[in-house]
Amino acid sequence: MEFRFTEEQERFRRDVREFLLGLLPPGYDPVEQDELDEAGYALAKHVQKALAARGWLCPGWPVEYGGAGMSVVEQAILNEEMAYWRVPRVYGMGPGLVGPTLIKFGSDEQKARHLPRIAAGDWVYWQAFSEPHAGSDLAALRTRAVQDGDDFVVNGQKVYIGDEHEVDYLYTLVRTDPDAPRHRGITAFLIDARSPGITYLPLKPLAGARKNQIFFENVRVPARDMVGPVNGGWTVAMTSLGLERSGIGNVAELRRTFDELVTYCRETRRAGRALADDPTVRARLAELKIELERMRLFSWRTLWRQANDLPLTYEPSQGSLQAKVFGPRFAAVAAEIVGPPALIKRGSRWSALAGRLEHLQRYSLLTHGGGTPEIQKNIIAQRGLGLPRGR
Ligand SMILES: Cc1cc2nc3c(=O)[nH]c(=O)nc-3n(C[C@H](O)[C@H](O)[C@H](O)COP(=O)(O)OP(=O)(O)OC[C@H]3O[C@@H](n4cnc5c(N)ncnc54)[C@H](O)[C@@H]3O)c2cc1C
């Protein structure tokens, strides 16, 4: 088995890195992706435009849709480098979720209207699926859409959506047939985010990153904005969810924080010696490093399967679960090594690693985004191990 990249892939990685680092200003001090301030957001937009100009915003899409037609491995290298160097991104589900969904399920009119705007980085899309009573159990969603002439009229509520910046479209699931079995009465829509009747209520979870509650009150949505067939939204949504679970970016982000932790341990002296010279610290760092490398290999295994058109069932959940479990554990071990500075936010002269360890401890987007650890375990149990569904 060959664990190395080809010469060509290594060259590609060097080129990608050079290009990305060239987009960042001298002395770039990254703010966490889910807490970008105005300056960080402006830089993220600049990066987005530069990526789009190369077709790299949607690198795996066919060139005819504004992508670069990159192979799975090249896309993953790009993702890894983006995450490792903490290149800021505009939050949004256009390139990774909505676009691929439209390529698979969209009408010609939808493709023509949305895909060029997504690939150019012009329009921002939020995934608006979760509801107060429908998170893990997404099929319990209650937001209703009733057909009225050429429109659907939407009423209901979504929660934990988006961020504090602008949005153009909401990629949403609604209930169109309340009498059908739960999964068969749901339809997917792209709803113009500025439609009359939509109210956004900011939600500030303990984790920090700003989310929104969204209320729909008699919002008229043209039938042409339906994605896939009426009452066929569950298949559309499940296909879409599968697209966001390779996990390679999460691992790269954690690897970078680990590398910074090692530097911190080399540079910080306690009781007359560097932390990195303490055998207990070295052992803990070695354990973390081994886990990180193992996770990275798992992610690459998943990508390798994808690149070779082998079926993916439980593998994305396996990668996702590992990062979800490892993140908080990494934060706890790092806090044991670093001590109280690991608990102090960015911006204080007392914080360690520019507040990254403090952020990692409350990074609920990592643990909850795309399904909680328990949901990933259920998927692995059922699709990977063939165990029966729990009651
Ligand atoms: C920071 C953040 C960002 C988010 N961003 C978005 C977004 O952009 N768009 C969007 O649509 N949603 C978003 N969400 C919502 C997210 O998808 C849900 O929070 C997630 O699916 C969990 O749902 P819930 O919060 O309703 O918890 P629940 O589903 O009520 O779960 C509560 C607990 O019960 C456990 N549990 C539930 N069911 C089972 C089961 N069958 N077996 C075992 N354990 C179970 C869960 O693991 C969890 O620990 C976001 C959430 C967070 C925290």
Q: What average pLDDT score do residues 322-345 get?
A: 95
Q: What would the pLDDT profile of 237-255 be if each residue is shown by its tens digit?
A: 987 554 545 689 999 999 9
Topology alike, domains 125-232 and 245-384: no
Tokens of 100: 């691929």
Q: Is the model's pLDDT at 154 over the cut of 50?
A: yes
Residues 6+ apart with CB under 8 A from 139: 182, 183, 186, 234
Atom of ligand 1 nearest to the CA of 158: 11
Catalytic residue among 32, 80, 81, 244: 244
By mean pLDDT, which of 6-20, 143-157, 297-311 is the weakest? 297-311
Find out whether 314 and 378 touch, Cβ atoms under 8 Å: no
Residue nearest to atom 18 of ligand 1 (CA): 135
Average pLDDT, the chain: 93
Which amino acid residue places its CA nearest to atom 48 of ligand 1? 372
Half-sphere exposure for 71 (CA within 13 Å, toward CB): 12
Please list every protein residue whose CB sits less than 6 Å from any atom of ligand 1.
127-130, 135-137, 160-161, 205, 207, 209, 211, 364-365, 368-369, 371-372, 374-375, 378
Domain 245-384, CATH number (from 3.40.50.10490, 3.40.50.2300, 3.40.50.300, 1.20.140.10): 1.20.140.10
Find the 368 Cα to ligand 1 centroid distance in Å. Answer: 6
Residues 6+ apart with CB under 8 A from 171: 93, 97, 98, 101, 125, 126, 127, 128, 129, 188, 189, 190, 227, 240
Tell me the pairing of strands 186-192 and 226-227: antiparallel
Predicted pLDDT at 209 = 79
Fold of 125-232: Butyryl-CoA Dehydrogenase, subunit A; domain 2 (2.40.110)
What's the gap in Å between 161 CA and the centre of ligand 1?
12
Position 244 scores a pLDDT of: 41
What residue spans define the domains of the chain?
Answer: 7-90, 125-232, 245-384
Find the mean pLDDT for residues 72-83.
93
Please state, in angstroms and rounded to a whole number, the distance separating the CA atoms of residues 348 and 327. Answer: 23
Look up 244 and say whether it is catalytic: yes
Whether the predicted pLDDT of 175 surpasses 70:
yes
* 7-90: in CATH 1.10.3470.10: no
Ligand 1 center from residue 134 Cα (angstroms): 8
Question: What average pLDDT does the segment 258-286 reach?
Answer: 97
Q: What is the pLDDT of residues 280-311, one digit of tens each?
A: 999 999 999 999 999 999 999 888 888 888 88
